[in-house]
Amino acid sequence: MILANSREMELTGSYHNGRELLNGLKNCVPDVLVLDIHMPGQTGDELAEIIAAQYPEVKMLALTNEDSVYYIKNMLRKGVHGYILKTTSEDILLDAILKVYRGEQYLETELKEKVIKDTLQAKKQISAIPVLSDREKEVLRYIALDMTSQQIADKISVSKRTIDYYRLSMLTKLGVKNVGALVKKGMQLGLID
């Protein structure tokens, strides 16, 4: 109803599910597509990916109840140009459509702040990854290959006691209690393949 009453825009189609939308795009390709995330048949992120590939000229604006950073980032990765909530005002909806039409990205202020906060939090977590020396990483790789301390010591020409020291140091740095957990954590952090 909002779009139908707008003087600046022409509503070219309305679809109830993903199949209808994809069929409709074969006949009429809009400048801006307002896309719900939760549609019967196919989800909005699946549709966004298809539309971005088949109709790269279409600019998409997600309109949804989902304010989760996961959904926002996922939709933006899939080719959506903007993301707003269904609770938004008419003015914001129309402004978002116009900005997306002009090639700008659009996120409501509240959502933008959530994404920024989440990104900063992720960067803090990355910087909190313990730093292992090159030698510790090398020893960790051998531990992952199920080599004993003596085998590793022989391989890199150091004493078994030195290898035991490296093991203890890595257990402490990575905050784990046994070798199995050490290898698992090392893999999770990308310290070993």
Query: Tens of pLDDT along 157-185?
Result: 999 999 999 999 899 888 889 999 999 98
- What's the confidence (pLDDT) of residue 126? 55
According to DSSP H, which parts of the chain are helical? 18-27, 44-54, 69-77, 90-101, 109-127, 134-144, 149-156, 160-174, 179-188
Q: Hey, what amino acid is at 110?
A: E
Give pLDDT tens digits for 36-82.
988 888 888 899 999 999 999 999 999 999 888 888 988 999 999 99
Please report where in the chains the tokens 């010591």 appear, as a residue. Answer: 153
With CA atoms as reference, report the closest residue to 38 among 63, 2, 70: 63
- The domain segmentation of the chain, as residue ranges, is 18-125, 134-188
Give pLDDT tens digits for 27-41.
999 999 999 988 888
Q: In the CATH hierarchy, which fold is given to the domain comprising 134-188? A: Arc Repressor Mutant, subunit A (1.10.10)
Judge contact between 112 and 105, C-beta under 8 A.
no
Homologous superfamily, domain 18-125? Response regulator (3.40.50.2300)
Give pLDDT tens digits for 86-137.
999 989 999 999 999 999 999 988 898 888 888 777 666 655 567 788 899 9
Give backbone dihedrals phi and psi of 64, rounded to 5 degrees, phi first. Answer: -155, 170
Token pair in block for residue 144: 């992952």
CA distance 35 to 101: 14
